[in-house]
Amino acid sequence: MEEYLQTSYDPDLEYVDGQLLERHVGERRRSRLQFLIGLELGPREPGRFHTYTEQRLRVSPHPRYRVPDLCVMALPYQRESVFTHPPHLVIEILSPDDEPADMLEKIADYLKFGVPHVWIPDPYRQRLQVADRDGLHDRPDLIVETELAGRLDFGELFAKLDEPSE
């Protein structure tokens, strides 16, 4: 665990039950959606929250470290290199190689850690799920909202993934 915390990986890895786990990153649709979400959240930040990409979270004391695609930390919060307090929102963007069981385990880690909102967009099938203390739910309207981060229309974000380049 100490070696994990002192090592930089590119892309960053997760540390679960003594094992280093790769994250599925680097594909165009997934990467573009991560950027677009950040663009939507950025202007909403001042005085309310900070948005982080690929920030390590210590989700359990017997150490489990997860690295969500994006997370939103409500202000004020304890500034630390690895967050040990739950964010307000975690966003995990699905990749074609993600295994459902692995994603469910990751979501369970976030919820046990105390994250109240988890959004799981799939840019390949243009689907959206949310997880909270009431369970995992499909969002066929592709719209999500929290009191802090506001409303995001993933239908609009998905539409931008295939806009022609100029």
Domain ranges across the chain? 2-160
Q: Is 137:121 a contact under the CB 8 Å cutoff?
A: no
Rounded distance between C-alpha atoms, residue 27 and residue 24, angstroms: 8
Architecture of domain 2-160: Alpha-Beta Complex (3.90)
- pTM summary value: 0.88
Residue 77 phi, psi dihedral angles, 5° rounding = -150, 160
In tens digits, the chain (166 residues) has pLDDT values of: 666 566 666 666 666 766 766 766 668 899 999 999 999 999 999 999 999 999 999 999 888 889 999 999 999 999 999 999 999 999 999 998 888 888 999 999 999 999 999 999 999 999 999 999 999 999 999 999 999 999 999 999 999 998 776 6
